Structure 1
């Protein structure tokens, strides 16, 4: 339990308390003994009669101790005669409650201040204090106690700087970010005010100066005993116990754990390469990863560069064992890109991995290599992997591992280690899909051409073939997934990689994919409707080595990944029929509604483009075009009309969301052409939508210079590449709406759409392109055919203007009777 120095004269230990205060009870701060007879009896199991008798006497002594000396004497007897492994939790808890946290904290502060009233050397005080804290921290309640947390900076200072004789009194008094401070009793007046080693939570600038001062001071005062393994182990035991708390990583981060542990590793302090790196790895693998890199970027970059160099210089068998460690220390994507030195070092690491990748390795050794390679792809793309041949090899080995891992008989559990490896393989496959299934990438100075984009046709076919075989195994695995496992992070990872493939590849495994649609929709709907299913998924996504997921889990994530595939599948008859039986349009409508609510809920935050909402509109548009009868009867499309009528008037005033507005406008007009004219007055929501749509469409083109060609307006220019086709489709749908619902003609005139369009067409010499001209002509012609007044206005304009784009519209001339 407690490790005590053999030379410790417990009777001579002096407390930092006032003597009179000490006589009142040294255990005051830790609480009295609640070790009743029942607890003591329970704790005596496994002890001899002699040990049991000693234990009872010591517990009695602890309970009635009058000062620190009595407590230490009882502890000394317990540790020598009753090993901790023979004491159960209730007994240990009774001992801990008797000792309390004041005693070990006072020992540390006394050692740091170098009090002349202590009969023990500072090093022994530190040794005893850290040992007591290590024992106390084995109880989670003690580990989370604010008083123990105040000692964390001191312990970090010991690990980083060694146990100096006189550390700053402020190190014990320091106020951390959570507002915890060492109790006032630690801040007694003292004549010792020497400058000492920097605190673990001080800033780097002031810390460097303090470190120099402290080194000088400690050398001048008296020789400092070195950091021994027992003391280092005790310090790490406390830090590990704090790390295990629910808020443990944040507690350590706020108290300067990252710079202190980085320094311990740099100075090669005892246990730093074992337990220090392990602690840092935990801090950099979870939710505190981004915070740590933002706050301590330079220290972590320096440490990572050192680890990479050590990796490259080590033997192959050591490299195999340290791949996983390197993964933990890789930075977020933005940080890595900014450091050319890191990029160069990682290039050497990737070079060291290549011969290992080509060698025959067991899955236990190959897995970490594949995961590390996946992280490099996340950071720098294919640039670090090597020539095309090695890129093909990496993809092939990843796909083979996926097939071997997923093609197990149903019911076989996949181990956590294999799940981790397969998740890395998925990321390699996603990167390969993006390149091999897309058109050739044009190299630019900002985005150099990747190795995969230089594959020969034969190599590209090989990559696609092994990917197809791997995704066949993915489909097989997902077919076996029971709804009870929908919250499993590995199932989500497997679902996501399949969605990335389906977004690009639409011709392979059609029957298998169609057969899997009930699972894909059911899985997405379950998460969408039950957000709590994703509690584990949120933590898992945060824990990815190089995570792209920064926002919290909302339940919409699975559907977001599936949407590009739905956009393709809804355009094909066989899968579309299956999607309709699964009520997919209603799911998409609900998705749009929730996303819009979330978007508007951002308040003053600048709206940003949301591609998933645009993709959902595209899938709904496919259903609208191909399944008109379903649109007329399905109530979800009526709900969609109401939603669009409320959303479009707001959306048209958000310039950054112009493409989404074009999607909403097109979708609403395409549904409008399928509706029959209302028996009475049109609904206010319908009027609002069509009025907004007419104003929105009218703003796309402007008359450039006098008598020159029409140009895309300034407000549309930036988004024209994405919005042009939607604009043309909206005009075609507008013609259909006018024919189906003639009351819209009045809005066409009231909103000035016809007047503006005729004026522009009569004055401009040409339109931006032939497709734009055809779309406008079709819309104007539909209006002319439904309204005599409009037809006369169009005819008059053509008769009075013998030049301009209007005169080139032959079909329109024929409709209005102009030769």
Structure 2
């Protein structure tokens, strides 16, 4: 770069301009224009300087014109279009070359490296205030340099670059060749390649080695500390880039995480004030999982440091740090479980316990409860503390919920309060999971995440305060207008209530039944895509609970409500309300939408979806208890069509065996309510029953005869869940044979009857009494409805062999003594 000594005489080459000019004759009218606050004389000088910038032959001329602009036209008086013209005239080549020259330590620059860095970063900071400039590829190539300066300090960064150049020299390349080629060029040269070669040479996929930024600890001398202005300029550029639509990805791909973590670890200038804030932005939203997966070691080290700072901070600082710590906790399920992370969680709980026991204002307790919720998400109740404190935590969360939600209708909740209440919901949900289990069966082993050593009395107390809090949730949801269905806070409230309803529907039954119209309307609105989803997608991306993170599909609301619907559809009062709300049609629509995913995947790729099974259970409740509704409601015909399409596919997907058993049960339960067809049987119906018979036949294995019958290998893993469904299927099969006699012919044609009789005659016993009773009921129905079946069964029973001899009712049906 040319010597900058030419800057001084260049200053005086322009006519002087009085700072306060603008008064006098005509001054009032010409002092300001629509574009900014410059006088006529200042605008004239500005135009000359802009011309000089565009025509500059070397960097000295450029700097002289730029210095004159800053002296005579303060930035505060320039409007955006004028600033944009200046930025375009300067361009990004100059600051990039200043950084390259400073970092590589050229002796020909005429200025100390520190001054070159200061000038280069200042120019970049000014340019980055324009979003179009901030996203320019040339500016983005300087990010590794800026990160290196922040991580290593300006002196260490120069040393590191010089070491790399010396290594190049040992390989036969002159360390100064690149710099000289850069310096010999004027403003027309493009520094992009130079910046890339200096800063991105060794960059990996995630940019962690960009600019030679070391992720290991280095000795930091006092001289490596940068001045505040340079640090502020570097952070200004990075923050401006981060604010761009894809800004976070631009920083992450250039090694921002290890560099900023190193800056904080070495306590570089502004690293705690601005570096942590920038890291917090990069660790929020959709990028959090990705960042923790790529840089777990650096982020865990940073978290350990922050947790120690948290422990040593003053009371007020601790309150301020609660929200900061939330940003730096790892996402559930992504971070590798380690003793180090466990130590962090235990350490933070140790600080939070006395804080929660103190007298706090609502504004103070909010961040503490949110942090507590995040810690619970990570490690459950194990590290929280003694049972008494765990109960206090739940109680404080419930009190905040009641205070926040039991407001008169129409009162809007502030975003801050909504954030606090959402954290309280997660504490309540964690309490429900274990309190309900222990309240129902104290003798059973508590869940791993349960409160250690909690007594039955404490459990009842917890359930009592939870009931009061959930009453407040129901009161709040009763006031929600359909126009607010897309509000993330409404979804958070809905989700939390559903978590309670999944475990407890006997309490507040009247209130729950009264709320059903809202719950169904809300779920239907989202499933059918009537509610806006943008805010909900963003909210799910921010959730610390891994179950929540992901794309919004519209099915989420109903998924949470399904366990409650399964309970409520079994009770007469709530079921009648659900029928008036056309709930069966909603469930069928849900199954139809969910089926689009597994039907196109191979058996290996298919993932189990428990919510589909729960929806089947709720529909089964309606089918068993409301036969007339099943016969008349068109949605059940739609369900039959879905079952006819899906069951033949499901039986070939081993991982979805429980769902197949649910579909088979539903199909046969509906079939028993239908009358015999007047003409020929529909092809879809025949295919459905044929598939069901083959599926049921595959459950038991008689190859070990003459020993007892065993559950087949394909069913063995799922037998605990599928056994009851299999028995229901056999009972329903008997009902189908009575309602539609043509099925008995199919039973013989498909070989189910012969297979079953052979198995029973060859084996000594069935797996259990309930299995025997179900098979006997189905065989009795066949004998009663089909003379041919009766003869075949009778002939087999006359041999007086195997498990058949134990079926006394069947003997009566076929007339065998």
TM-score (norm 2): 0.89
Q: Give the 5 Å matches for 1:498-509.
A: 498-509=497-508
- 1 CA distance for matches of 2:775 and 2:504? 35
| Partner of residue 809 from structure 1, selected from 807, 810, 816 | 807
What's the CA shift for 1:74?
A: 2.6
- 2 CA distance for matches of 1:669 and 1:317? 66
Partner of residue 181, structure 2: none
Equivalenced residues, count: 769
Structure 1 residues 189, 142: closer, same or farther in 2, change over 3 A?
closer
- 1 CA distance for matches of 2:256 and 2:192? 24
What's the CA shift for 1:582?
A: 1.6
Q: Deviations over 1:779-817 (max 9, x none)?
A: 0000000001110111111111x2322111111111111
Q: Deviations over 1:174-222 (max 9, x none)?
A: xxxxxxxxx98437899xx99999979765699688989x999xx9xxx
Contact 1:703 1:760 (C-alpha < 8 Å) held by counterparts: yes
- 2 CA distance for matches of 1:780 and 1:107? 91
Partner of residue 186, structure 1: 191
- 1 CA distance for matches of 2:92 and 2:532? 41
Q: Does 1:794 align with 2:793?
A: yes
Partner of 1:334, secondary structure, is: coil
Q: Deviations over 1:605-629 (max 9, x none)?
A: 6111110000010111111111111
Q: Unaligned 5+ residue runs, structure 2?
A: 11-29, 166-175, 179-187
Structure 1 residues 561, 194: closer, same or farther in 2, change over 3 A?
closer
Contact 2:144 2:199 (C-alpha < 8 Å) held by counterparts: no
Q: Deviations over 1:743-781 (max 9, x none)?
A: 111110011111111111112221111111111100000
Q: Give the 5 Å matches for 1:266-281.
A: 266-281=265-280
What's the CA shift for 1:344?
A: 1.7
- 1 CA distance for matches of 2:404 and 2:5? 61
Structure 1 residues 626, 391: closer, same or farther in 2, change over 3 A?
same
Structure 1 residues 508, 719: closer, same or farther in 2, change over 3 A?
same
- 2 CA distance for matches of 1:609 and 1:554? 17
Contact 1:40 1:56 (C-alpha < 8 Å) held by counterparts: no
- 1 CA distance for matches of 2:141 and 2:603? 39
TM-score (norm 1): 0.88
- RMSD (Å), alpha carbons: 3.1
- Greater displacement, 670-679 / 317-326: 317-326
Q: Give the 5 Å matches for 1:395-474.
A: 395-439=394-438, 440=441, 449-450=448-449, 452=451, 454-474=453-473
Contact 2:198 2:211 (C-alpha < 8 Å) held by counterparts: no
What's the CA shift for 1:77?
A: 2.4
Partner of residue 149, structure 2: 158
Structure 1 residues 86, 407: closer, same or farther in 2, change over 3 A?
farther
Contact 2:709 2:766 (C-alpha < 8 Å) held by counterparts: yes
What's the CA shift for 1:82?
A: 3.3
| Partner of residue 120 from structure 2, selected from 126, 129, 139 | 129
What's the CA shift for 1:9?
A: 4.4
What's the CA shift for 1:572?
A: 1.4
Contact 1:236 1:276 (C-alpha < 8 Å) held by counterparts: yes
What's the CA shift for 1:317?
A: 2.1
Q: Deviations over 1:551-601 (max 9, x none)?
A: 311111111111111111111122212211221111111111111102234
Structure 1 residues 730, 329: closer, same or farther in 2, change over 3 A?
same
What's the CA shift for 1:67?
A: 4.0
Partner of residue 101, structure 1: 92
What's the CA shift for 1:346?
A: 1.7
Contact 1:387 1:451 (C-alpha < 8 Å) held by counterparts: no
What's the CA shift for 1:251?
A: 1.0
Contact 2:216 2:262 (C-alpha < 8 Å) held by counterparts: no
Partner of residue 516, structure 2: 517
Partner of residue 22, structure 2: none
- Greater displacement, 239-248 / 515-524: 515-524
Q: Does 1:79 align with 2:70?
A: yes
Structure 1 residues 534, 600: closer, same or farther in 2, change over 3 A?
same
Q: Unaligned 5+ residue runs, structure 1?
A: 1-6, 15-38, 174-182
Partner of residue 282, structure 2: 283
Structure 1 residues 279, 194: closer, same or farther in 2, change over 3 A?
closer
What's the CA shift for 1:316?
A: 2.2
Contact 2:630 2:670 (C-alpha < 8 Å) held by counterparts: yes
Contact 1:12 1:119 (C-alpha < 8 Å) held by counterparts: no
Contact 2:525 2:531 (C-alpha < 8 Å) held by counterparts: no
Contact 1:42 1:91 (C-alpha < 8 Å) held by counterparts: no
Q: Deviations over 1:259-304 (max 9, x none)?
A: 0000000110000011001111111111111111111111111111
Q: Give the 5 Å matches for 1:282-431.
A: 282-336=281-335, 338-431=337-430
Partner of residue 712, structure 1: 711
Q: Give the 5 Å matches for 1:541-690.
A: 541-602=540-601, 606-690=605-689
Contact 1:42 1:90 (C-alpha < 8 Å) held by counterparts: no
Structure 1 residues 643, 362: closer, same or farther in 2, change over 3 A?
same
- 1 CA distance for matches of 2:345 and 2:235? 30
Partner of residue 25, structure 1: none
Partner of residue 240, structure 2: 241
- Greater displacement, 109-118 / 630-639: 109-118
- 2 CA distance for matches of 1:468 and 1:731? 41
Q: Does 1:732 align with 2:760?
A: no
- 1 CA distance for matches of 2:711 and 2:9? 86
Contact 2:322 2:367 (C-alpha < 8 Å) held by counterparts: yes
Q: Give the 5 Å matches for 1:213-224.
A: none
- 2 CA distance for matches of 1:13 and 1:81? 16
Partner of residue 169, structure 2: none
Partner of residue 495, structure 1: 494
Contact 2:213 2:259 (C-alpha < 8 Å) held by counterparts: no
- 1 CA distance for matches of 2:216 and 2:365? 44
Contact 1:259 1:299 (C-alpha < 8 Å) held by counterparts: yes
- 1 CA distance for matches of 2:9 and 2:732? 91
Contact 1:441 1:449 (C-alpha < 8 Å) held by counterparts: no
Structure 1 residues 195, 461: closer, same or farther in 2, change over 3 A?
closer
Partner of 1:383, secondary structure, is: coil
